[in-house]
Amino acid sequence: MIRRDFLKVAGVSAMAIAAQGSLPLLARKPRGVSYSGLYTEAFDSRFVSPNAIAPVNGYLPKFTPVSGGSMQRAFRANYTLVRQYGQTKELVSNNFDSGSLTLSFDGKQSRSEEVRHKRDEMDNTVKTVVDTRGPLHTAASWTMESSVVGVPEVHYTEQGRWDGQRMLVKGRSFSLERETSGPLIDRWSLLPLLASGKIKQQDLKFDLLDESTLRPNQTLRYMGEVTIPVAGGETNLDCYVQSGWGIVPTHYLVDPQGRVQLITMATVNWALMDLS
Amino acid sequence: MSDRPNILFLHVDQMHWDAVSAYGNPYVKTPAVDRIIADGCNFRASYSANPVCCPARGSWYTGRMSCENGQINNGPYPLRADLPDLGAWLRDKGDYETAYSGKWHVSRKIPDSFRQIYGQGESKGEIFDPAIGRAAIGYLDNYDSDKPFFLNVGFVNPHDCCYTSGAAGGEGKFLYDEEAIEEMPPIPENFYVHLGISQPKDPGKERYFRYYIYTYYRWMEMVDAEIGRVYDALMGSRFAENTVVIFSSDHGDGLGFHGQVSKSKMEDPSWRVPTVVVTPERQRAGEADHEHLSIALDVTATICDYAQVPLLPKTIGKSLRPLMEGQADVDWHEYIVGENWQSDGKMAVRDAQYKTILYGDGLINLFDMLHDPMEMKDLSKTDAGRAVVKKHLSYLQEHLARIEPYAPPNPTKKQPAYTVCQALFSKIEKGEVAV
């Protein structure tokens, strides 16, 4: 089966196949054998759909892709953090809203404000402003501000810059330096690159600036088209995967107009809510 | 300003003792942990007190074995209320500012003993570890007290390995990710030997485990990035010259060794942990100490020692500080004992050469850790092996005489581990273990 065809075995149809025990590897197991706890203490048998949507396949039937706006020029976007928390009895991901992300990009500067909710209400908010340059929107300089609700003594701001070989970060009382291995690109500056379609033609090798954390040696590549279940039916999206140091494979699902509708990791996933 | 050093206790959750690149593991890159190892002494023969989250942590914070402190297993096993914990101890005895960021997993409220700067009640690293690190960095960046601080940062990863996708049943998962991944690590050489017994070959299981190992190392790298940010923020600050750093893990992970994942086992991948001490003077920088067997209670004793406060009451832990300072004739452990009270329960004795694992169902394994570090050949049925096991049983009796096991008066049906523990202790104390 070619990759493209395989990826189309998705969502509800794959669940139905899985329920009959007919997926290839499943079929090797005797019926009645429970996979729960077979190899890990909290075994997530997310074999019912392509990996790209596995962490959110329980959420997708409620997801309506955004149809307006564009990420190919200046934009503002809001995402919701779709937390993945194990599975339901129906063998789909158990998801709930766990935060928000507001992004804007004007062609040169990327701004983000991310809030991660926590059950004890000690929410963490991170604001970043990244000045970019060049066709890859590499990070030239940035500020990051972090705060925790109710804990003023951990609020801090750091400034960073990248000179093409090293990133330098300064807080009020510390400074640190990291060597980079390739172009340094902020995670959210990847969105206009994905929207442009350029990465369909050539893999992108880069270092990721992830809220001021350096994750070197990343590869972002086009994997093909995927059909996924959404509210009211199905939709076709281009699937890109990022792999590299310090991340689990991260998938970006992009519609034909270049809107990054979904970003899936594992417990952290982002779904586009609106775009202007 | 106090002459007591600041203390940064960095720990991770479920880290296999060798999941670092510092010693040549080619499948994971951990530049931050490697820097810590280069700056300090790595006690390579270190072990968890009880390789499951709650009891391991309860032992860190009370300096007592889990069978003593009540928090004997995950679940409804509360710490004894009468025992002090490390945070309150340093705060009250050493006038430390104590702050906690991260996963706690001890049956006592963090604010009872620490300023909770970012607590974390859920064992998920991807979503919370960056915030745990940022809170710690912010704390360092803003700290302006004349008191020394005890900053405790409890990262979660690589514990996210407990929530990996279902590759065991997932052809789709495999096909998809194998296309995204250039190379998956091989299975370990002892993959098909568990409890000293050869297991049947299973290609499907191999594929699952190779993917598991691959993702485990990514979780490790993910937390390494956060460790690096905190460690480098400290080392790039004015506190670098008067802060002791201790790095460890609550327990290990099977990581495919013996065909196992997860914890609660007394084989090395689950039981053994990294323990690194970095002093401002960079004592023993870059050294790997294989000689001194160490148990988690020693971490507690070490922190107390550096803080210049008494050791926690009735601990059998020993401070690593004299070893860091190169003192001669340090009175050190001849053997260490670990325990775990899941299922039928188990205890392990490790001396300089051998490890005995005594299971509650009667099984005994003996491994020669010098000549068989992968624990593949069970020697317990040999004549020489029986002699070693008998010696280790006498060690266990001695150990039980030194500690004060806790027996709650009325354990409930939801607390079977207490009964399991007492049953095995009784057999050992009465000399009823059949060798």
CB contact under 8 Å between B169 and A49, yes or no, is no
CB contact under 8 Å between B160 and A126, yes or no, is no
Candidates B142, B164, B224; nearest CB to A246: B224
Q: Is 90 exceeded by the pLDDT of residue B288?
A: yes
Q: Which residue of B has its CA nearest to A215?
A: B225
Q: Which residue of B has its CA nearest to A146?
A: B134
Helix, coil or strand: residue B348: strand
Candidates B163, B215, B225; nearest CB to A215: B225
pLDDT of residue A59: 93
Q: Report which DSSP code applies to B4.
A: S
User: Residue A91: inside a domain, yes or no?
Assistant: yes
pLDDT of residue B179: 56
Give residues 186 to 215 of B whose Cβ lies within 8 Å of A: 204-205, 208-209, 212, 215
pLDDT tens-digit map of A132-184? 999 999 999 999 999 999 999 999 999 999 999 999 999 998 999 999 999 99
Instruction: Please name the residue that has the structure tokens 């202007």.
Output: A276
What does the block give as tokens for B137? 């960095």
Q: Is 90 exceeded by the pLDDT of residue B80?
A: yes
Helices (H), ranges, chain A: 3-7, 11-19, 24-27, 190-196, 198-201
pLDDT band at B120 (very low <50, low <70, confident <90, very high): low
Candidates B121, B140, B226; nearest CB to A120: B121
pLDDT of residue A93: 79
Q: Is 60 exceeded by the pLDDT of residue A40?
A: no
Q: Is 70 exceeded by the pLDDT of residue A32?
A: no
β-bridge mates for residue A161, sequence order: A141, A168
pLDDT band at B206 (very low <50, low <70, confident <90, very high): confident
Distance from the Cα of A74 to chain B's closest Cα (Å) equals: 28
pLDDT band at B173 (very low <50, low <70, confident <90, very high): very low
pLDDT of residue B164: 61
pLDDT band at A3 (very low <50, low <70, confident <90, very high): very low
pLDDT tens-digit map of A178-218? 999 999 999 999 999 999 999 999 999 999 999 889 999 99
pLDDT tens-digit map of B228-261? 999 999 999 999 999 999 999 999 999 999 999 8
pLDDT tens-digit map of B9-59? 999 999 999 999 999 999 999 999 999 999 999 999 999 999 999 999 999
pLDDT band at B430 (very low <50, low <70, confident <90, very high): very high
pLDDT of residue B361: 94
Which residues does chain B have within 8 Å of residue A147's beta carbon, measured at their own beta carbons?
Answer: 138
What does the block give as tokens for A248? 């689990």
CATH code at B336-429: 3.30.1120.10
Query: Average pLDDT, stretch B367-384?
Result: 97
pLDDT of residue B98: 98
pLDDT of residue A26: 29
Helix, strand, coil percent content, chain B, rounded in steps of 5 = 35, 15, 45
Residue A124 burial class via C-beta count within 10 angstroms: exposed 0-12, middle 13-18, buried 19 and up: buried
pLDDT band at A85 (very low <50, low <70, confident <90, very high): confident
Domain that holds residue A93: 3-115+182-275
Q: Report which DSSP code applies to A30.
A: P
β-bridge mates for residue B278, sequence order: B245
Q: Any residues with CB less than 8 A from the CB of B68 and at least 6 apart, and which?
A: B62, B314, B403, B404, B405, B406
pLDDT band at B198 (very low <50, low <70, confident <90, very high): very high
User: Residue A149: inside a domain, yes or no?
Assistant: no
- Other residues' Cβ atoms within 10 Å of the Cβ of residue B210: 20
Query: Average pLDDT, stretch A49-62?
Result: 82
The total number of structural domains that make up chain A = 1
Which top CATH class is B6-324? alpha beta
Percent of chain A with pLDDT over 90: 63
Q: Among A32-41, A74-83, B117-126, B133-142, name the one with the lowest average pLDDT.
A: A32-41
The answer to whether residue B424 neighbours chain A at the CB level (below 8 Å) is no
Distance from the Cα of A49 to chain B's closest Cα (Å) equals: 7
Query: Average pLDDT, stretch B93-113?
Result: 94
Residue B203 burial class via C-beta count within 10 angstroms: exposed 0-12, middle 13-18, buried 19 and up: exposed
Query: Average pLDDT, stretch A36-57?
Result: 53
Q: Is 90 exceeded by the pLDDT of residue B175?
A: no
pLDDT band at A69 (very low <50, low <70, confident <90, very high): very high
Query: Average pLDDT, stretch B144-169?
Result: 81
Query: Average pLDDT, stretch B402-431?
Result: 95
pLDDT of residue B193: 95
Percent of chain B with pLDDT over 90: 85
Q: Is 70 exceeded by the pLDDT of residue B71?
A: yes
Q: How far apart are CA A242 and CA A250, in angstroms?
A: 5
Q: Is 80 exceeded by the pLDDT of residue B174?
A: no
pLDDT band at B420 (very low <50, low <70, confident <90, very high): very high
Whole-angstrom CA distances from B145 to A113, A149, B241 are 31, 22, 16
The answer to whether A236 and A225 have CB atoms below 8 angstroms apart is: yes
The answer to whether residue B372 neighbours chain A at the CB level (below 8 Å) is no
Question: If you average pLDDT over every residue of chain B, what do you get?
Answer: 93
Listed ranges A104-113, A212-221, B297-306; the one with the highest mean pLDDT: B297-306
CB contact under 8 Å between B118 and A51, yes or no, is no
Domain-wise residue ranges, chain B: 6-324, 336-429
User: Residue A157: inside a domain, yes or no?
Assistant: no
Q: Is 90 exceeded by the pLDDT of residue B160?
A: no
Q: Among A122-126, A133-137, A153-157, B122-126, name the one with the lowest average pLDDT.
A: B122-126
User: Residue A90: inside a domain, yes or no?
Assistant: yes
